[in-house]
Amino acid sequence: MRVINIKPTRIKKEHPLPYYYQIVQVLREAISDIEDPEVNEKIALPSEPELSELFSVNRGTVRHALQVLEREGLIYREKGKGTFVRRRRVEMDLSYLCSTTEDMKNRGWKPDTHVLEINLVLPREHIKDSLNLAAGEKVWEIYRSRTANGEPISLQRVFFPQKLMPDLDKKNINGSFYNLWHQEYDIHPFDGEQMIRTRIATGEEAKLLQIENPAPIFEITRVTYDTNHIPFEYLISIWRGDRYDFYVRLTAI
């Protein structure tokens, strides 16, 4: 474990910003300058008394600043042990279709998948319409948990038309769906439509993701089309709000 280096900084009392927020800005900058730590390495902040001395303020002001940083997901506290820097938030580009498994491997992480459920069901109306299914056509419903280096990062509930993947329950669904589509069913994703929203995790989701309850999460709903513009996937994925930032590249028309 190492302690983040923070230079002694005197609060500008003539500045219109509150004292605690000036401390927040200094600590944010110090955290952003940290190089990515090794897996499982902890980086601690100085104690509240040490920060009070560094900034020449009382502990109440320091505590207020730490509360702001904790709400922003930059730090976390362990009772009796101290305050620690959370690992750098992960940026994910939503501009293109990408295998979660391959994305994790490209980052140098070890991906793993846990299948929680697989069922053959009649889809709800909006899923049936999104997949252009006729009345009575069934879908495979698969619920999976995704981890990176042993840390839960995502939950995925996905629906595939049975007619396109009739024996899916006999295939290996613990790995990349992209590989499965290509190798087993000659399905090649081409484009998709997705909606991103934020909400509070349910108790079950918080438990599976090993996050506090309540906690914010991202929910992404996506319909994926193949090269013939046939919809073959309806995906609802849940991502930890404390670990991910999503971005899109924009170009002028």
User: Under a CB-based contact definition with an 8 Å cutoff, are residues 20 and 61 in contact?
Assistant: yes
Q: Edge-to-edge strands of the sheet including 111-121?
A: 111-121, 139-148, 151-161, 231-240, 216-226, 189-200
Q: Are strands 43-44 and 2-3 parallel, antiparallel or unpaired?
A: parallel
* Homologous superfamily, domain 90-247: Chorismate lyase-like (3.40.1410.10)
Q: How far apart are CA 217 and CA 93, in angstroms?
A: 17
Identify the pLDDT of residue 36: 59
Q: Which of 86, 64, 66 is nearest to 74 (CA)?
A: 86
Tell me the domain boundaries of the chain.
2-85, 90-247
The structural architecture, per CATH, of the domain 2-85 is Orthogonal Bundle (1.10)
**What is the C-alpha to C-alpha distance for residues 165 and 182, in angstroms, rounded to an integer?**
12
Percent of the chain with pLDDT over 70: 96
Question: pLDDT below 70 — which residues of the chain?
Answer: 35-40, 88-89, 253
Residue 35: per-residue pLDDT: 64
Query: For position 38, what pLDDT does the model report?
Result: 55
Pick from 168, 142, 139, 165: which is nearest to 155 by CA?
142
State residue 88's pLDDT score.
65
Q: Could you read off the pLDDT of 4-49 as tens digits, one per residue?
A: 888 777 788 888 889 999 999 999 988 888 765 555 578 899 999 9
| Chain mean position to CA 32 | 19
Q: Please tell me the distance from the alpha carbon of residue 148 to that of residue 37, in angstroms, as a whole number.
A: 15
Q: Is the dihedral of CA 68, 74, 76, 81 positive or negative?
A: negative
What is the Cα–Cα distance from 86 to 74, expressed in whole angstroms? 5
Q: CB–CB of 160/233 below 8 Å?
A: yes
